[in-house]
Structure 1
Amino acid sequence: MFIDLIRRLRVTQRALELRALIGVSLRDQIRNEEIRRRTRVTDIAQSYTKDIQELAFRNAESLREISFVKVSRFYS
């Protein structure tokens, strides 16, 4: 529970720092996506998901190539 509180405080602080960087306040009601777009900061969840998808795709390609080689050796 304490670690979760620290994480939430870090996220809030980072969000407020980004808002201060571009000169907007919470009253401006600008979404986080727009702030990340303006500051060109990537969302870690999106970045992580993209990396996992690329890794899974590469592994699937490798597995397909390996299984093709094994099958072709079996029938040769």
Structure 2
Amino acid sequence: MQISAEISQGTKQLLERYSRAHGVKKQFLIESALLHHIQALEQLPAGIIIPPRLVVSAASGRKIAESLTKKQKPTRELVKLMRGGD
């Protein structure tokens, strides 16, 4: 069976790069990925599936961008975690 679908240029580049690097045919890679994804959707609770793209409002996008550009000191908890603490 053949399926036709439009994909983004970025996804196409990732597919081609992975296919070349691992010597896997694109057809096999696409079918494996679809099976894996559908099985996950069927077997896992909906609340733990994270979508590959998140849509945010313009205001939320600005807040996210602003928080990413601010230099903040790490919290004690983060420092402890990164040092291997419990």
- Interval containing the TM-score (normalised by the shorter chain): under 0.3
Please give the TM-score of this superposition, normalised by the length of structure 1.
Answer: 0.28
Instruction: Specify which structure has the bigger relative contact order, considering alpha-carbon pairs within 8 angstroms and separated by 6 or more residues.
Output: 1
Larger proportion of helix: 1
The higher radius of gyration belongs to 1
Please give the TM-score of this superposition, normalised by the length of structure 2.
Answer: 0.25
